[in-house]
Amino acid sequence: MTLKPVIAKEFKTVSAISGPLLFVQKTRNIAYGEYVEIISQDGSVRRGQVLETSFEMAVVQVFEGTGGLSREHTVVRFTGEPLRFPVSTDVIGRMFNGSGKVIDGGPPIIPKEKLDVNGAPINPKSRAYPTDFIQTGISAIDGMNTLSRGQKLPLFSGNGLPHNEIAAQIARQAKVRKTEEKFLLIFAALGITADEARFFRNSFEESGALSRSILFLNLAQDPTIERILTPRLALTTAEYLAFEEDYHVLVIITDMTNYCEALREISAAREEVPGRRGYPGYMYTDLATIYERTGRVVGKNGSITQMPILTMPNDDITHPIPDLTGYITEGQIIVDRALHRRGIYPPIDVLPSLSRLMKEAIGPNKTRDDHKELSDQLYYMYAEGRSLRELVAVVGEEALTERDHMYLKAADRFEREFISQGRYEERSIEQTLDIGWNILSSFPESELKRISLSTIQKYHPAKRHKV
Partner 1 sequence: MLNQRLKHGIITKVVGPVIFAENMENIAMYEMVKVGLDKIIGEVIRIEGNNAVIQVYEDTTGVSPGEPVEPTGSLLSVELGPGLLNQIFDGIQRPLTILEKESGFFIKRGRYPEALPRNMKWPFVPIKKEADRVTAGDILGYVKESPLLEKHAIMVPPHIKEGKLSYIIKEGEYTVEEIIAKIDCGQNNIVEVSMITKWPIRKPRPIKRRVSTYLPLITGQRIIDALFPIAKGGTAAIPGGFGTGKTVMQHQLAQWADANVIVYIGCGERGNEMAEVLERFPELKDPRSGLPLINRTILIANVSNMPIAAREASIYTGMTIAEYYRDMGYDVALMADSTSRWAEALREISGRLEEMPGEEGYPAYLASRIAEFYERAGRCEVLGSDERYGSISVIGAVSPPGADFSEPVTQSTLRVVKVFWALDTNLAQRRHFPAINWLTSYSLYKNDLDLWFAKIFPDWPNLTKEIMQVLQEEEELIEIVRLVGPDALSETQKLILEYARKIREDYLMQQAYSPTDSYCDLKKNYHMMSLLSYFYNTAKALVDNGIPVSKINSLPAVQELGRMKFVPNEEFESFYHNLRERLKSDLSSLTKGVKS
Ligand X SMILES: Nc1ncnc2c1ncn2[C@@H]1O[C@H](COP(=O)(O)OP(=O)(O)OP(=O)(O)O)[C@@H](O)[C@H]1O
Nearest distance from residue 196's CB to ligand X, in Å?
29
Residue 1 beta carbon to partner 1: minimum distance, rounded to whole angstroms: 6
Q: How far is the CB of 240 from partner 1 (least distance, A)?
A: 12
Among ligand X, partner 1, none, residue 427 binds (CB under 5-8 Å by kind): none
Q: Could you say whether residue 450 binds ligand X (CB under 6 A)?
A: no
Considering the complex, what minimum distance in angstroms separates the CB of residue 429 from partner 1?
Answer: 20
- Is the CB of residue 183 less than 8 Å from the CB of residue 247? yes
**Shortest Å distance, C-beta 225 to partner 1:** 18
User: How would DSSP label each residue in 125-163?
Assistant: GGEE---PEEB-S-HHHHTTS-EETT-B-PEEE-TTSTH
Q: Which does 44 bind (CB under 5 to 8 A by kind): ligand X, partner 1, none?
A: none
Alpha carbon 321 to its chain's center = 13
CA distance 133 to 373: 17
By CB under 6 A, the residues from 214 to 233 that bind ligand X are none
Q: Which is nearer to ligand X, 9 or 356 (CB)?
A: 356
Q: Interior CA angle at 82 toward 77 and 87, to 5°?
A: 115
Sign, CA dihedral 192-251-315-138, equals negative
**Nearest approach, Cβ of 145 to ligand X (angstroms)?**
10
Closer Cβ to ligand X, 144 or 448, answer by number? 144
Q: Which is nearer to partner 1, 212 or 337 (CB)?
A: 337
| Closer CB to ligand X, 212 or 356, in the complex | 356
Closer residue to partner 1 (CB): 20 or 82: 82
Nearer Cβ to ligand X, position 49 or 375? 375
Q: Among all residues, whose Cβ is closest to ligand X?
A: 356
3-class SS at 4?
A: coil
- What is the chain's alpha carbon radius of gyration, rounded to the nearest angstrom? 25
Selected binder of ligand X within 84, 175, 356, 366 (CB under 6 A): 356
**Helical H segments across 178-302, by residue range:** 194-206, 226-243, 256-269, 283-291
Check residue 129 for interaction with ligand X (CB under 6 A): no
Say how many Å lie between the first and final Cα of the chain, rounded: 67
Q: Is 161 within 8 Å of 345 (Cβ atoms)?
A: no
**How many amino acids of this chain bind ligand X (CB under 6 A)?**
4
Quick check: 32 binds ligand X (CB under 6 A)?
A: no
Which residue, 9 or 366, is less far from ligand X as judged by CB?
Answer: 366
What is d(CA 287, CA 327) in angstroms, rounded to the nearest whole number?
10
Whether the CB-CB separation of 166 and 348 falls below 8 Å is answered with: yes
- Residue 282 sits in the site that holds ligand X (CB under 6 A): no
- Spatial separation of the C-alpha atoms in residues 376 and 295, rounded to whole Å: 26
To ligand X, the closest distance from the beta carbon of 326 in angstroms equals 6
Q: For residues 306-345, which are near ligand X according to CB under 6 A?
A: 326-327
| CB-based burial label for 445 (10 Å; 0-12, 13-18, 19+) | middle
Q: In angstroms, give the least distance from the CB of 330 to ligand X.
A: 8
Cα–Cα distance measured from residue 206 to residue 209, given in angstroms and rounded to the nearest whole number: 8
Nearest residue (CB) to ligand X, 218 versus 353: 353
Q: Which residues bind ligand X (CB under 6 A)?
A: 326-327, 354, 356
